[in-house]
Amino acid sequence: MVDVGDEAPDFTLPLAGGEAYNDMEPFTLSEAIPDGPIVLAFYPAAFTSGCTEEMCSFRDSMGLFDDLDAQVYGVSVDLPFSQNVWIREEGLNFPMLSDWDHEVIYEYDVVLDGMYGMLEVAERSVFVVDTDGVVAYKWVKDGENPDFDELVVEVAEAVEDAATA
């Protein structure tokens, strides 16, 4: 289980940028780490109400993360083609990472079994990785969905703490 203080497991995933349905390129966490703190916001599935509400809260608060030179990435098991459509439909202003083969949700131990009794998806969770590649913050949903606006502010505060540590 990945916890605060652990080195963040490295991975390479398709990054969906949202410019077109086939807008994708490889993303490797270790290559992005030196550019500033990284927020990995795992969510179960694009196009669902809770996930849309959560990602739109990040969208509406991107100024907080931009001011901290932080990078925000949504992470799900959705294919990048679907993520690109969702980014465009919701006007999301940050990219998505496609863990289509479910390796990263296992590495970070955020597997939500049995969505609708059929699907294995990412458990709603957020990790902040500092510029040394260490997990500086971890939040995993416990119970009902939180107030996403409050969660995003808490994540931004964790990014600020990670950037000044």
Residues designated catalytic = 51
Q: How far is 147 from 57, CA to CA, in rounded Å?
A: 10
Nearest alpha-carbon partner for 130 in 12, 16, 6? 6
